[in-house]
Amino acid sequence: MDIQTYRYLACGGINVAMDILMFFIAYHYIVQKQIIHLPFGLAVSPYIAAFIISFCICFPLAFLLMRHVAFPHSALAGRTQLIRYFSVVMLNLGLHYVLLKLFVETFAFYPTPAKVVVTGIGIVVSYLLQKHYSFKQVAPPPAPPVATPTPKSTKKPLKRCARFRLIAPLARTSALPHARALLV
């Protein structure tokens, strides 16, 4: 496993643990397993409200960990990274919402284990998108070619003449860059 994947897993592990802990606290103690009634007749189920609370706390932590620990060599500007990271997280948030609803309402999972399963799926999707989109690295420049010895020329050496006496001082001072080529 390369160091970048290891760092991603470590940062992701910290963030996932914090996310699940915050989800548990929000579901049991903040929302208290009650439906949240919003204005205009909207209602939010307790596990979705807990999810939103944990997201708001863990998003900034996750971005900072990913930017400074997991992908520190990204060539993208910080604002670009944040916008891309946010777009990937929004995609992941939609995925979490749909899967959490599916597991809890259709498959009758208890909300906390459902959150754990959904998070596992989200980790794989997130890693691939973060590595190849949000914190994309510029390919390193190609290595310079290895100098190979050139075969000796079979040309006859030039005779010294008046032309040589005029060009030689210019070639030595590099006042005339192409003058060296004339001397060869």
What local confidence, expressed as pLDDT, does residue 30 receive? 94
What local confidence, expressed as pLDDT, does residue 55 receive? 87
What local confidence, expressed as pLDDT, does residue 177 receive? 54
Using CA atoms, how far apart are residues 133 and 166, in angstroms rounded to an integer?
59
What local confidence, expressed as pLDDT, does residue 45 receive? 92
Stretch (H or E) spanning 44: strand 43-44
Q: What is the DSSP letter of 129?
A: H
Q: Which residues of the chain have pLDDT under 50?
A: none
The answer for residues whose C-beta is within 8 angstroms of residue 46's C-beta and 6 or more apart is 27, 31, 32, 33, 34, 35, 36, 111
* Closest by CA position to 137, among listed 64, 86, 67, 60: 67
pLDDT tens, position by position, 3-12: 878 888 899 8
What local confidence, expressed as pLDDT, does residue 173 receive? 55
What local confidence, expressed as pLDDT, does residue 155 receive? 60
pTM: 0.57
